[in-house]
Amino acid sequence: MPKRERRSGNEAVAEAMRQINPDVVGAFPITPSTEIPQYFSSYVANGDVDTEFIAVESEHSSMSTCIGASAAGARAMTATSSCGLAYMWELLYVAASDRLPIVMSVVNRALSGPININNDHSDSMGARDSGWIQMYAEDNQEAYDNLIQSVLIAEKCRLPVMACQDGFITSHGVANIEILEDDKVKEFVGEYEPENYLLKHDNPLAVGPYGISPYYMEIKREQAQAMKDAMPVILEVGREFEKMTGREYRFFEEYMMDDADVALVVIGSSAGTGKEAVDMLRAEGKKVGLIKLRVFRPFPRRPLAAAMCKVKAVAIMDKAESFSNSGGPMFAEARSSLYDLPDKPYCINYIYGLGGRDIRVDDFYDIYNDLFEIIEQDDPGDVYRYLGVRDSRYEEEEQRMIKETYHPGAAREYGIDKEKYEV
């Protein structure tokens, strides 16, 4: 029987890794993912797994380890966060283009600078075009479940997978989750039996050759096709997992969407807070809903567009900035999925939660009211918005500080007359 246990998100992921028993784990610490290889190393030391655990000198090396191991025919895994993911950057593209089914737990944390160790999605969203499948967890249970499914998805698609969870919020927060029986997990993921690999002596091959111009585009086209083909595989694996656990996993979850007039699209742990706001507004008789996106790569544009078209106005929530002057990464993809549809909802973007900035039920409550106002006025206004940011240009305290210490650049920005102040 499955066991109900208290686990942090990092503990849950390490527990899943123990049950999977990968052949190789390349490990280097970085907050807030450090605990994953730390917990897993105790399983190695205690003989609970027979994994080759390789503690390396950098995140670049941990991904290099996984690439070498996977190319050689091993089941390889790792974990990282933030600047660690950035340090792997060139190798993310290598792993994906070599079609290596590596599974990496990404514990989302803001990228520097300025230096920040708290949660947002700037790390994995920055890597969204590297060719990795990306899945995001709302809570500890989903972090555990996603990692187990990631192994099968990666190996069926021959694509690497990032299984993402929110740093500190789920990674260090403790919750009751259901831990599956070891034998069921082992049966679910099965034995890894790659068709071709470097150490297969009867079929010698090269991995990662130089892609000359006449062939490079064909390789990229095959990668793109593999990402498209991953969509039915993700659903198939989700159905098999549901048979085993009773927990349903699709591209996204619809919450109170059947008769909703307005909705949010959100990713990660903020979905739980958003659901609380939905329940509160529903109690007031307001028809609101929420879509929690689980799979960001491949992007489920058609089913997501169909879900968004159930409402009259939708807010896309981005916990990362694209600096595109057009909104965040979620907004760009979700809004573009509506382009060809004749009857589409108003669509606005909120950038929120950067660097760990808190988002509360009241914040979601206000966003829903903004959506109702958009419907009433038949005008979306500015579709690219920031939530809860301080604007010092209009704060009296900031004005006072500028006046006390004259600075030419600040004076020009705020329209301060130099002659009125002592320099």
Angle (CA) 25 26 30, round 5°:
120
Q: Closest by alpha carbon to 314, among 359, 361, 266?
A: 266
Provide the 3-class DSSP secondary structure of residue 200.
Answer: coil
Q: Pick the closest to residue 105 from 184, 13, 30, 222 (CA basis).
A: 13
How large a percentage of the chain has pLDDT more than 70? Answer: 92
Question: At a CB cut-off of 8 Å and minimum separation 6, what does 310 contact?
Answer: 257, 258, 260, 263, 289
Residue 47 · residue 73 · CB < 8 Å? no
Question: Dihedral of the CA atoms 171, 176, 177, 183 (nearest 10)?
Answer: 110
What are the CA-CA distances from residue 158 to residues 9, 76, 90, 107, 408 (Å)?
26, 13, 19, 23, 57
Flag whether pLDDT at 85 surpasses 60: yes
Terminal Cα distance for the chain, rounded: 75
Give the whole-angstrom CA distance, residue 117 versus residue 150: 26
Using CA atoms, how far residue 374 sits from 289, 308, 365, in Å, is 16, 16, 15
User: What are the two backbone dihedrals, phi and then psi, of residue 53, each rounded to the nearest 5 degrees?
Assistant: -95, 120
pLDDT at 67: 98
Report the sign of the C-alpha dihedral through residues 38, 42, 43, 49, in that order: positive
Chain segment 18-28, per-residue pLDDT in tens: 999 999 999 99
Q: What whole-number percentage of the chain has pLDDT above 90? A: 88
Instruction: Specify the pLDDT at position 390.
Output: 83
Question: What pLDDT is recorded for position 400?
Answer: 56
Backbone torsion region of residue 248, taken as left when φ is above 0, otherwise alpha when ψ lies between -120 and 50, otherwise beta: beta
What one-character-per-residue DSSP string does 78-140 give?
A: EEE-HHHHHHTHHHHHHHHHTT---EEEEEE-PPSSS---S--SHHHHHTTTSS-EEEE-SSH
Tell me the C-alpha distance between 301 and 135, whole Å. 15
Sheet holding 133-136, edge to edge: 52-55, 24-27, 76-80, 103-108, 161-166, 133-136, 295-297
Q: Which of 264, 289, 271, 245 is nearest to 146 (CA)?
A: 245
In the predicted structure, residue 408 carries a pLDDT above the cut 60: no
Confidence band for 399, pLDDT divided at 50, 70 and 90: low
Residue range 91-126, pLDDT digits in tens: 999 999 999 999 999 999 999 989 999 999 999 999
* Tokens matching residue 128: 């969204």
Amino acid occupying residue 386: Y
Q: Confirm whether pTM is higher than 0.75.
A: yes
pLDDT score for 394: 46
| Statement: residue 149 has pLDDT above 50 | yes
